[in-house]
A and B are shown apart, each in its own frame.
Chain A
Amino acid sequence: EAQVTQNPRYLITVTGKKLTVTCSQNMNHEYMSWYRQDPGLGLRQIYYSMNVEVTDKGDVPEGYKVSRKEKRNFPLILESPSPNQTSLYFCASVSLPGPTQYFGPGTRLTVL
């Protein structure tokens, strides 16, 4: 079954404690993307990756890092989380041409 998985689904952490949200897809897509969703602000793109070792900033990259060492995985790294990064995060894998985006189930992050 084609899917995008994210882990963890829920996370409560404290300011400054490094964390990683993993994202994995089994569709052999080259393009993957991270979004955050906040009330009243909609979905905003954080980072995207066009292929292995190719990443670029989206609209709100500050405070985040990503890596793309292999095609199926695209982890999102918060090196020093702050409360303003409390949000709902989605990973997406993109089928091109199209494009059609396949979203993960979301990770609800709370930074205290």
Chain B
Amino acid sequence: SQQGEEDPQALSIQEGENATMNCSYKTSINNLQWYRQNSGRGLVHLILIRSNEREKHSGRLRVTLDTSKKSSSLLITASRAADTASYFCAPYNSGGGADGLTFGKGTHLIIQP
């Protein structure tokens, strides 16, 4: 099944700085989603970007998608302590059945006060 691979595995920055994490995947997709997981809790859907979109914004989140490179990035601007969490990407191909509804190991983001 197709999984996204998030990079880096862990990231620690100061509060107020921007955080960027990346996702790579292997096959063509219909869309790609990003999820956040606070420690020990269920994942929460953040944003979806379609394959024909290059960039999407939601509040302090900015997602880019480069289908030629099979990669996506998630930028969190002006980070806050509450952004400390793990972030997962989920590339989705509708022809893949359950494929694309699985997750990689995520990027663990720590915001230092």
Contact = CB atoms under 8 A, between A and B. Distances in A.
Partners in one complex: yes
A75 B10 CA distance: 33
- Chain B: number of interface residues, binned into ranges: 20 to 34
**Residues of A in contact with B, size category:** 20 to 34
Interface in A80-106: 88, 90, 92, 94, 97-106
Which of B44, B90, B102 has the most chain A CB atoms closer than 10 A to its own CB? B102
A90 B98 CA distance: 16
A42 B42 contact: no
A105 B102 contact: no
Q: Is the interface of A mostly helix, strand, loop or mixed?
A: strand
Given A42-B105, A99-B92, A101-B35, A58 B45 contact: no
B101 A40 contact: no
A23 to B, nearest CB: 11
Contact of B94 (A48, A94, A97): A97
B42 A106 contact: yes
Interface of B: 1, 31, 33, 35, 40-45, 48, 88, 90, 92, 94, 98, 100-106
23 contacts: A33-B98, A33-B101, A41-B105, A42-B103, A43-B102, A43-B103, A45-B1, A45-B101, A58-B98, A58-B102, A88-B40, A92-B42, A94-B101, A98-B33, A100-B33, A100-B45, A101-B43, A101-B90, A101-B101, A102-B45, A105-B41, A106-B41, A106-B42
